Amino acid sequence: MATAVGVNAFLSLGEESTFGTAVSVSDHFRLIDESVKVEDGYNLRQYLSSSVARTKIRNKRNVTGGFNIPASYGGIGLLLKHVLGDVSTTGSGPYTHTITDGALPVGLSVQVDRDTAGVGGSSAYKFAGAQVQSLTIKQGMEEEAQIGCELLAKTVTNVAAASPSYPSAVYADWLDVSTVTFDGTTFTARELEVQISNELRADGYKLGDRERQHLGRKGGGVTMKFGGDYDKLDFFTDYIAGTTGTAVVTWTDGTNSLSVSLANACIQDANPNAGDADDITYDLQLEGDLGDVTVTLINSDASY
């Protein structure tokens, strides 16, 4: 037994058919970082009859947190499916996967291996009954694109380590960004962020059981933020006019691609400010509905 080290950590996913019933994991990812945890303590109640003794009552079991992974073109379709709901696939290699709003799948089993070999035994953490609260794609300069997911889940168990087989290391990066537009006009971006959010029914508990009995979506939305150069007036003019339009972000390496299109997007901010003698930059902030977002993924994966 040795001290666990983060360099040996990785993430694995499996798609459940019954909420909260853990399944074998099949999709594996290299981690940037993770923060999935379980809150499983006590409510200590003190009564007037004693200044010392307290009653210990178990709290609800609350599994929360998230993870960040590099955005490879392959392997990420399962996550996109579980944040939006519907996937249709066409083609025969490369395949085109179109992910749109629909009923959320039952859930995921999310397994985090925190160096099981170092700790020994069945010390990987499997979080069952997981649903995606939000999925965020971020892109900065001189970086790979990153996908961050925030989760809610039902329960946790310790299991044996998985044997990972990672997606091919073809990552979307800053040089693959080919399109950043709103209403057909190109935004000169230095950074960008796309977030798809689900408002989950988090309080699915009942008397007699400390674990969530259900999750599911009760609302949600999509936000986009483009940060970059103030080199045209178009977006501020659209902001003042209340113009809505389609925002598009696309990564492609010539064979694979990832594209997010948000129709009927409204501008929430487009104010440039001069802060110093350097280039004037600003954020174009957009917001829209889950029913108006389409994610298109082209890769060599036959299905999700």
Least confident of 42-51, 61-70, 191-200, 227-236: 42-51
Please report, rounded to a whole number, the percentage of residues in the chain having pLDDT higher than 90.
86
pLDDT surpasses 70 at 1: no
Q: Does position 214 have pLDDT exceeding 80, yes or no?
A: yes
| Residue 145: per-residue pLDDT | 97
Quick one: pLDDT at residue 108?
A: 98
Model pLDDT, residue 226: 98
Read off the pTM.
0.94
User: 12-23 pLDDT, tens per residue?
Assistant: 999 999 999 999
Tell me the DSSP string of the chain: -----GGG-EEEEEE-SSTT------EEEE-SEE--EEE--EEEEE-TT-SS-EEEEEPPPEEEEEEEEE-BSSS-HHHHHHHHEEEEEEESSSEEEEEEE-PPPS-EEEEEES-HHHH-SS-EEEEEEEEEEEEEEEE-TTSB-EEEEEEEESEEEEEPPP---PPPS-B-BGGGEEEEEETTEEP-EEEEEEEEEEEE-----BTTBSS-----EEEEEEEEEEEEE---SHHHHHHHHT-EEEEEEEEE-SS-EEEEEEEEEEEEE------SSS--EEEEEEEE-GGGEEEEEEES----
Say yes or no to pLDDT of 127 above 90.
yes
Q: pLDDT tens digits for 274-297? A: 989 999 999 999 999 999 999 999
Mean residue pLDDT of the chain comes to 94
pLDDT (tens digit, 9 = 90+) per residue, 40-66?
999 988 888 777 778 899 999 999 999
Per-residue pLDDT of 135-177, as tens digits, reads 999 999 999 999 999 999 999 999 999 999 988 778 999 999 9
